[in-house]
Amino acid sequence: MITLLERKIAFRYLFSKKKDGFINIISTFSFLGITLGVAVLIVVMSVMNGFRSELINKINGFNPHLKVFSYENSIDLNKLKNKNIKALSDNFFLSNSGEAVIVHNSYTKGIILRGYLRDDFKKLKVINNEYFNGNKSILYNHISIGKELSFILDADIGDKITIISPNSIMSLAGSLPKQKSFIVDSIFESEINEFNQNIAFLNLNDLEDFFGLEKQNRYLEVFLKDPREIEKKKDVFQNIYKYHLISSWADLNKSLFSALKVERNVMFIILSLIILIAAFNIISGLTILVKNKTRDIAILKSIGVQNNSITKIFFLVGFLIGTFSTISGIIIGIIFSLNIESIRILVSNMFNISLFPEEIYFLSKMPSEIDPASILIISIFSIIITCIVSIYPAIKASKLDTIKSLKYE
């Protein structure tokens, strides 16, 4: 328990007089260093959290959250009436896919074709965004292509394009690749170039006829109400579809999100060194403060102040510097995080440079997502570090010899 006397002396030493100006300078640099470290750490963590969330939303806006594959027989749709499944999702689509070459006006491109039934296609999120152009029903002998793919092929709505399958058919001339013409019925925009360039949609029956697929080989696409905690929800489906292969969006993009996680952890460690280095300034400041206050410490001891109280006084000085600087860093970090896009635009306009280019990061603006848990961890880490570095000078102050101190003062 810290007494009123200990608090008053600690605050008095914290705001030293003019003769102790050098101590004030060190304390100020310690304060600014920790504040800057905490603020930068919060901003970086918020941007990385925002980038990860935006990327997940865009991937999940185009791809299903779960895919259920059957090894032999067709998928039993009656199991979808299970109350545990209905609590997680009410959007289930049968689908199938295949790889082919698309040709138009001498332009060719390898693509992945995904098939949906007519009523299911119009329910897809990518079909219902503001960038979609064309018919929202996937008709027989019609195709929906991505915006970038339409540029590559120089194709527009109403144009006829040719799909060439790797499966061959026998003719009088021998074995020839199977091909069929489709009319471009719509153009979609997923906001991720890789999807827009490499994926096109067909009517499911057209796709199966073109690739010679059986209906029992269809897989089930599941769009969850909340795609977070995907592994737990995957287990729910796995318990019901025991003899089926189930993959999640996390499984399909494991390498990408593992890399993001590693990068986030590395950035946390590197930026934490700013706080650690700034905190070591507290040791210097407190050590000099103890040296300058040798006479005061001796007088306090001579009037009955215990060593334990002396330790608490100087420890409190370091703790206050760490706490106030951490709080300041949190406030600055949150303000920057909330206004990161405005700051990006301002810096880009001032220096005529492109920060966070859209073609590289797949995003039109710099994202930011403030995570209270991350802020709490950063705050605790910062305060613990300042407490640790304050212990040595505080103990050293309590061990000063009263008689020698008064003699030499």
Neighbours of 378 (CB within 10 A): 25
What CA–CA distance (Å, rounded) separates 46 from 372? 10
Residue 142 in domain: yes
User: What average pLDDT does the segment 380-385 reach?
Assistant: 87
**Do 191 and 311 fall within a single domain?**
no
**Do 189 and 288 fall within a single domain?**
no
Assess contact for 285 and 388: CB atoms under 8 A.
no
Residue 21 pLDDT > 60: no
**169 pLDDT band (50/70/90 cuts)?**
low
pLDDT of residue 116: 92
**305 pLDDT band (50/70/90 cuts)?**
confident
pLDDT of residue 96: 92
State the total domains in the chain: 2
Residues spanned by the domain of 167:
90-223
pLDDT of residue 306: 81
Residue with the bigger pLDDT between 129 and 101: it is 101
**Do 174 and 41 fall within a single domain?**
no
**364 pLDDT band (50/70/90 cuts)?**
low
Cα–Cα distances in angstroms (integers) from residue 347 to residues 305, 336, 339, in the given order: 55, 13, 12
Residue with the bigger pLDDT between 32 and 13: it is 32
Residue 361 in domain: yes
Burial readout 202-214 (b: 16 or more C-beta within 10 A, e: otherwise): bbbebbbebbebe
**115 pLDDT band (50/70/90 cuts)?**
very high
**254 pLDDT band (50/70/90 cuts)?**
confident
**Do 109 and 52 fall within a single domain?**
no
Residue 391 in domain: yes
User: What average pLDDT does the segment 260-266 reach?
Assistant: 79
**Do 41 and 184 fall within a single domain?**
no
State pLDDT tens for residues 135-158.
888 878 899 999 999 999 989 999
**Do 186 and 284 fall within a single domain?**
no
**19 pLDDT band (50/70/90 cuts)?**
low
> How many percent of the chain have pLDDT more than 90?
14
What CA–CA distance (Å, rounded) separates 100 from 178? 10
User: What average pLDDT does the segment 208-233 reach?
Assistant: 86
pLDDT of residue 17: 59
Range in 81-85, 192-196, 199-203, 291-295 with the lowest mean pLDDT: 291-295
Q: Which two tokens stand for residue 23?
A: 């101590």
Residue 22 pLDDT > 60: no
User: What average pLDDT does the segment 38-54 reach?
Assistant: 86
**Do 377 and 291 fall within a single domain?**
yes
**Do 28 and 98 fall within a single domain?**
no
**Do 158 and 96 fall within a single domain?**
yes
| Average model confidence (pLDDT) across the chain | 82
Residue 409 pLDDT > 60: no
Residue 333 pLDDT > 80: yes
**Do 269 and 356 fall within a single domain?**
yes
Among residues 205, 223, 241, the one where a domain terminates is: 223
What CA–CA distance (Å, rounded) separates 220 from 95? 6
Rounded to the nearest 5 degrees, what angle is found at the Cα of 29, between the Cα atoms of 26 and 30? 85
Residue 367 in domain: yes
Neighbours of 152 (CB within 10 A): 17
**Do 391 and 296 fall within a single domain?**
yes
**Do 301 and 385 fall within a single domain?**
yes
pLDDT of residue 303: 75
Residue 83 in domain: no
What CA–CA distance (Å, rounded) separates 368 from 356? 13
Residue with the bigger pLDDT between 74 and 181: it is 181
